[in-house]
Structure 1
Amino acid sequence: MKTLVFGDVHGNATALQAVLEQEPEFDSVIFLGDAVSPGPQPNETLELLSELDGIFIRGNHEYTMLNPDSVERWPDGFKAFMHWIYDVFDPSGVDFLTDFQEPGLFEVGDHKIVLAHGDESPDVRHVLPDMKAEQFGPFTYGETQAPVLFGHSHIQFRRTIAEQNFINPGSVGQNRCGHVTACYGLLEDHDFTFHHVNYDPTPWLQALDQIPALDAHESFRGWFRQQMITGFAAGENEPWLTYAAQGYR
């Protein structure tokens, strides 16, 4: 059984299409959350995701999509961006996102795996490769042996803690380590492997430029565009510069 494992698309249908073209054959998917926002291709992303069969886990951006009031204290540019997404998003997408499952223990094939988004800890924004072991605890959901697949921090890595494997396939749509590449993983029987595919971001950039709601927020649009061009979706700062120098994706 071959399972495509990915997450954090964030409305980047261009990147997701590149993944699906590189991996045309698989039996099912595991999606680890954050599907359509904040990104300029929400409906295109919805169309691609809705054609896939598998397990879809709810992330923090599913919450923002289903609860528009949650963005009212965001910076003006981000808020305008999200309001545009709410306005143009196909109504069928609301039902699709509502059906995403809560994180927890799942049976995948003949083995059990914990599937989490990775934002479970209220004290740690992103769980990263070199963090203390206890920071990984909140998304084990009480399991001490089952492997854990999680996203949210947008960096590919594997960490073993007390014989329990924690695996992050990276982000499809918003790389943070200086690469214009879509990251994902493959689970074949009990073996997990990391993969990535480079892509031309031009369609994504063109979609961003065509959002009328951002005409009054050109500084935000320029900042968001620069993140895609550089591959540093959280900005060219630490710890991402160090991770990039260490070869992470």
Structure 2
Amino acid sequence: MRYAIFTDIHANLEALEAVLARIDELAKEQPIDQIWFLGDLVGYGPNPNECIETLRKRTDVIIAGNHDWAAVGKIDLEEFSEAARISAEWTRDQLTDEHFEFLAELPERLQMGACTLVHGSPYGPLWEYLTSEVLAERSFQHFDTRYCIVGHTHVPIIFQQPDTYATTPTVPLTGEQEVQALVDNIAAEAEVQAADSLTEEDDDDTAEMVAVRPAQQQSAQAAPSEDVAHVAPHLEQQPGLLESDAEQAPESGDEDISLEDDTEGDEEQERDLAEDALVGEETQELEKEADVLEEMDEEESHGERVTSEADILSAEDSLNQEIEELLALLGLSQSMVEVTNDMIVPPEGNWKAPAGYRAIVNPGGVGQPRDGDPRAAFMIYDTERGFTFYRVDYDFKKTQEKIEKAGLPPYLATRLAYGR
């Protein structure tokens, strides 16, 4: 099977007609089964309706480009340069209702046999420019076919990757995963360093805080326990009762001795009870003091952890800033990605992917080349022989005159002569 493939006409009718004429010549030599177009039919150029009409007649497959959807309001023009925005607004005013609806309904991605077709990249079908191996690395994870055919950059380019990496995730697939892993590592290290940074003086201070005061000092400050509250009033009243009983008692020697013995026994018993109660009170208060001091120690330790967390957050902010500076166009950086693909700038002629390799292939632009060659670009994909790249001369001066007459930015006309 043989397929003629091109992209990025940008309403340049002269370039489109030249490419189709060359395809017809090649088809006479060897049949071409289908013609595929990869988006950006309009925008920049002066003949949007004519190009849409011609392409609909001649092609078998058409997918959307960012300029196609911008012209029909499916993409916000704030993302466009001034020249692109002016051109999109002008194009919108020129489109017929039928062509407007046609552009609005174009798909942004198709799979045709061994090929995935997108305008920008398989990761960002409309917007991503594949200009480096780093960006291509991620895109290899977003299509399952052997080939992905793209446009958008207006530059012929090939990225090839050994098929052994096809199911191996790119490291990282997203910058957020890598950032989070780095942040977690920094946080763990900071906590360990904070724990190790306690000095001997800090330990001495902590030991001094939990030192138990003498029992006498603690009991003087402590509120009486429930047992002491019951015993203490009895102790206060008992001496008075004993004194009253002594005054009223007969002056008999035996009775005095008996009363004195009983009184002394009662007093000794009361003292023992009071001492036991006080000891119990002091023990409880010691336990309470220890609990309070332990809580204070935990709070102080928690305070130290809060300080360490602040340091961690500061380190995290610093890391995020560095990551942001290193991120590439869509969230990847050279240092964060193991590149497993090669970039090839294809010359005119044939290229075939090595056995066991997958590839992302860009044929270059038709209506506004940007590789320094003003000739229109396209390619033939032969399922047996690989890819053949072609360049075709066209009358760009005629297109320039149309651009100027339409009142479009002059820059859009000037660049055609330089292929930039």
Q: Does TM, scored on the shorter chain, surpass 0.5? A: yes
1:52-95 alpha-carbon deviations (Å, 9 max, x no partner): 23121222122202217722575555433322211111222123
Q: Which moved more, 1:5-14 or 1:152-161?
A: 152-161
Alpha carbons of structure 1 residues 204 and 140: separation in structure 2 relative to 1, 3 Å: farther
Give the AA of the match of 2:20: L
Which has a greater percent of helix? 2
What residue is the counterpart of 1:186 in the other structure?
A: 380
Separation of aligned partners in 2, 1:81 and 1:34: 13
Separation of aligned partners in 1, 2:115 and 2:95: 32
Which has a greater percent of strand? 1
Separation of aligned partners in 2, 1:136 and 1:33: 23
What residue is the counterpart of 1:199 in the other structure?
A: 394
Give the AA of the match of 1:59: G
1:8-50 alpha-carbon deviations (Å, 9 max, x no partner): 1111111010001111133311111111112211112112111
Report the secondary structure of 1:170's partner residue.
coil
Gap regions ≥5 residues in structure 1: 215-220, 233-249
Separation of aligned partners in 1, 2:140 and 2:71: 22
Q: Which moved more, 1:132-141 or 1:21-30?
A: 132-141
Aligned partners of 1:104 and 1:141 also within 8 Å: no
- Residues 72-221 of structure 1 aligned to structure 2 (within 5 Å): 74=80, 76-107=82-113, 112-119=114-121, 120-121=123-124, 125-128=128-131, 131-133=132-134, 135-138=136-139, 141-143=142-144, 146-162=146-162, 163-190=357-384, 191-212=386-407, 214=408, 221=409
1:98-157 alpha-carbon deviations (Å, 9 max, x no partner): 3422314322xxxx21111125449x85212xx2255343365341x5111111111112
Alpha carbons of structure 1 residues 62 and 81: separation in structure 2 relative to 1, 3 Å: closer
| Pairwise CA RMSD | 2.4
Alpha carbons of structure 1 residues 68 and 57: separation in structure 2 relative to 1, 3 Å: closer
- When normalised by structure 2's length, the TM-score is 0.48
Report the secondary structure of 1:23's partner residue.
helix
Report the secondary structure of 2:76's partner residue.
helix
Separation of aligned partners in 1, 2:394 and 2:405: 20
Aligned partners of 1:55 and 1:101 also within 8 Å: no
- When normalised by structure 1's length, the TM-score is 0.78
What residue is the counterpart of 1:223 in the other structure?
A: 411
Identity of counterpart residues, as a percentage? 27
Aligned partners of 2:116 and 2:143 also within 8 Å: no
Aligned length: 217
What residue is the counterpart of 2:43 in the other structure?
A: 37
Alpha carbons of structure 1 residues 136 and 37: separation in structure 2 relative to 1, 3 Å: farther
Q: Which moved more, 1:8-17 or 1:44-53?
A: 44-53
Gap regions ≥5 residues in structure 2: 163-356
